[in-house]
Structure 1
Amino acid sequence: MAVAATNWAGTIVFRAERCHEPRSTAELQRIVAGSRSLRVLGSGHSFNDIADTTGDLVSVASLPRAVELDARAGAVTVSAGTRYGELAQVLDRAGFALHNLGSLPHISVAGACATGTHGSGVGNGSLATAVRAVELVTADGALVTVDRGAPQFPGSVVALGALGVVTRLTLDVVPAFEVRQWVYEGLPTAVLRDRFDEVMAAAYSVSLFTTWRTDRIDQVWLKQRGGPDAPADWHGAVLSDGPRHPVPGCPPEPCTRQLGVPGRWHDRLPHFRLDFTPSSGDELQSEYFVARADAVAAFDALDAVRERIAPALQISEIRTVAADALWLSPAYGRDSVAFHFTWHPDPVAVADAVGAVEQALSAFGARPHWGKVFTTAPETVRARYPRWDDFRALLAESDPAGTFRNAFVARFFPAP
């Protein structure tokens, strides 16, 4: 019955009056129907109070695990608490894959989709874009399914846990594939400015890592489906001579295989291995999405405040995300570039750095990642989502009593 008392990083202590870990959907339905205030905990990989509650906190980790593949339909139905790394192994054995994965295979399917979590690639949408159906328990304890094509579907995928407890999702799958991964070091930022689109389209998935301390991008991670071997010199960057960790000073063992060694899609698309502690472990995170057309200008704006960013920073990652039509997706309606920041666990230094980042990106309509540290005012965030009022109406209709409305949801979607 007990669940973790903190989020993944230990930076949020949940204030729940009661913690539940139901072992069946029927048990979950009874808990939800009997609760006046309830939030759901996935893998706990969040850095703000999105999952916090003073009422009931429910973990879906012990619901019956299911991975039901429909090869003919090109779809898989999976239990909400399943981690991506676990799902990927089952799919791969059957000859199938997901279109993309996030940098961490440790995160739960439902939690990642609910917050707009993503990988990289100019043609790759966020993880939520693979969803074709959502099964959830609503505030009255009913079990409902919302399919792609339903009017409320675009508001029911990236929904912040505000519409109910997701129990299962049906995802699109594709044929399994292999990926080769290379790391380059020292890409001149002048080249990035001149050839940003070319650099980011150089592979199936591309990630840039920078400490914002020099005029070079520290590392470029290229994840390529097929193709020739990587050249030793690429746009002025040099091919690494061994495996690398994106965070300076960290050993590379937790990272997925590099040096162009072919591997299965799920062993290369994430940056980190499922059997290791992800990232640096002791950290805070922020992330902001801007239109890809503004990428270079946004990069320059951040570079201008590097002296305020660098002291709090472990590493920053720059990725691309294709546009989608999900109402609360940070990539809604625009091909996007996501600027990610992994901070030292120093709240004072991080607060100053986050303020500098948000001020620098304000001119570009930056949308913060829902599950990470940000201080953008609710009215400012609201203005950056064209379908905000539609989601608020859906929320009022789906949960009129506010069962799933915690302080986080109330800040951004105040009750009518």
Structure 2
Amino acid sequence: MDENNVKKLIGETFNDIANAIETGKFGTNIKIGLTTLGSEHGVDALVKGAELASKEGSFEVVLIGPRVETSLENIEVDCEKDAHTMMEELLDSGYIQGCVTNHYNFDIGVSTVGRVITPAFGKDLLIATTTGTSDTDRTISMFENAIYGIITAKALGNNNPTVGILNVDNARSVERLLKKLNDNGYNINFGESMRSDGGLIMRGNDLLTSSVDVMVTDTLTGNILMKLFSSFNTGGTYEAVGYGYGPGIGFNHKRIINIISRASGTPVVANAIRYAAELAKGNLKNIIESEYQKLKELKFEKLIETYKQENTAKVETRDDFKMPEKEIVSAEISGIDILELEDAVTSLLKNGIYAESGMGCTGPIILVTETNLEKAKSILKENNYS
């Protein structure tokens, strides 16, 4: 390095030190944007959230919106569309490393991982996912949601998060896919329900206690959960608790854009900015890329393709075989997805085993005789119903 470059470097270093002493912000090169238009609580509520977050000193906040009285940097725009355009330009140029906004439309394949504070023990919980659409197929969407949740946890510094699946439609199908991916070599730390029967299918109690680090669900359910967790003490008009609806995650998505609601209040805005800063510091974009490469090597996309082919092919009808005689059935088979329950029953009837569908205390069940129990389980497994 020549003498002029050395002097330049020394000069820049002293300027950085002087700026740090003046601002109290040491060692920060992270800037997080916040668009301030569109809130039901007005621009001031968002600005106050930004000012609150910026006091940490480990990152800077850049406001994108109308001019306001504040010490924060303020890039002036006067409508939401222009705010989003400016946000994207600032992210793509690297001027900011993440941004918090609302009412932003992600592409198909991208959905957000929310972060709430659960009431039982005050523990953080990632809800995967809360807005956006990972895939147009519900089961595949939830399957990918699980991966998005794991990626987000890793960016937050949790390299081995526990994962559970909320007991909603398709949960059992998602469980099978995740276990196949785990068998292929993608390590998934499956959690355990706090209920006495355990398992990785989670119930309402597990939401309240945060039995796992990542709760997998469909996006619409996740969105409702976010609203309940964040505003159950305020009547629903003001989101006061949590970190917002989280970053948009997708294998081809390159921007850290965290979503808040129009109902998000000052505390949630502040936490959403902190959340985005943590993800930027945790190299979220690099983790997405590295995890995707790993997944491709472990036949992640082949699993999806195979599932879709099998799901199309295995729809059963009761018109082309003789029904077995009715029997008294008392042996239960659980672990069948509710959306596949009747098809699974038909597959047994087709193989000469009398079966009925039912609903147990933990979800859908198939009832057969004790004599046919093991054979029925084998048939269901062969046909990918369990």
Do the two structures share a fold, i.e. TM-score over 0.5?
no
Name the one with the larger helix percent: 2
TM-score by length of 1: 0.21
TM-score where L is the length of structure 2: 0.23
Larger Rg over CA atoms: 2
Per residue, is there more strand in 1 or in 2?
1
